[in-house]
A = this chain, B = another copy of it.
Amino acid sequence: MKKNHVKELWREGKASVGTWVVLGSPITAEIIANMEYEWIVVDTEHGAIDIGTTQSIIQAILYTGAVPMVRVPWNDPALIKRALDAGAYGLVIPMVNSREEAIQAVQATRYPPLGIRSFGGPRTRLYGGADYFEHANEEIALMVQIEHVDAVNSADEILSVEGIDGFFIGPSDLAISMGLKPGLDQTDPRHVAAVSKVLEIGKRHGVQGGIQVGSAEAVNERIAQGFKFIALSSDEGFLRSAALSALGNVAKDRKAP
């Protein structure tokens, strides 16, 4: 089976940097995947992206170096199974708040005997290789989102579940669960402490830490802090910021001479 490059980086102790695609366009994904982003997560939680389109996006980036991943809308075995069969090499599962939910995510993601994933999905063998079944449990990266104060409190129970490779912090959702305002740059000490706590627990269990950031500077800080899976903006974010910034420098008075 073709190796999961993100897991290779992790084995070398290196952080990986990727981004999200939320626009549902195979082309935006392809453009970004032709840069040095190490992975692309197709965000089917907040993007209106169906499974057919998810598969098209994954197909569009397979010739690049970026590892294709999917955030499913919910910790639901049907959604997880379909994302994997469409070719995802990694999963991000929203709102995992308890050990039970973590176990359910593992069950859905892993083939027996670790879990209950159903055999099938011939596309996976095209790209992954004929021995996909034998190695998928090992190569597929499973990340659970810690994005609620309840999950922080249960982090030890969650991250000690066998079969989980990483966690991913959604700063905004974590913040609003604490009564703070949403946003990527959270400076409230409670938020900062929660993130640190989860990171430490993850390290103890050999589970990689992931987080969403909004700038290159924040990427570098998070790497320094020990995060290994850092999401820098999204196709939507890149497009919006550049289009806005370009226009900002255009003269407002357009009366021609």
Contacts and interface: CB of A to CB of B under 8 A. Distances in A.
Given A25-B24, A59-B26, A111-B176, A122 B236 contact: yes
Contacts of A215: 246, 249
A170 interface: yes
A43 to B, nearest CB: 8
B179 A113 contact: yes
Nearest to A94: B118
A9 B254 contact: yes
Nearest to A75: B78
Given A53-B52, A247-B17, A78 B76 contact: yes
Interface string A64-86: 00000000011011110110011
Contact of A257 (B45, B176, B226): B226
Nearest to A36: B247
A134 to B, nearest CB: 9
Contacts of A127: 63
B35 A243 contact: yes
Given A17-B247, A50-B51, A238-B239, A119 B73 contact: no
B254 A16 contact: yes
Contact of A239 (B31, B73, B177, B232): B31
Interface in A222-242: 223-224, 226-228, 232-233, 235-242
A216 B121 contact: no
A120 interface: yes
23 contacts: A13-B255, A24-B52, A27-B236, A31-B122, A31-B126, A31-B239, A45-B118, A48-B51, A48-B54, A48-B85, A50-B51, A56-B56, A62-B62, A119-B170, A119-B182, A215-B246, A216-B248, A219-B251, A220-B251, A232-B247, A233-B246, A237-B242, A238-B239
Interface of A: 9, 12-17, 19, 22-28, 30-32, 34-37, 45-56, 59-60, 62-63, 73-74, 76-79, 81-82, 85-86, 94-95, 111-113, 116, 118-123, 126-127, 133, 147-148, 170, 172-173, 176-177, 179, 182, 215-217, 219-220, 223-224, 226-228, 232-233, 235-244, 246-251, 254-257
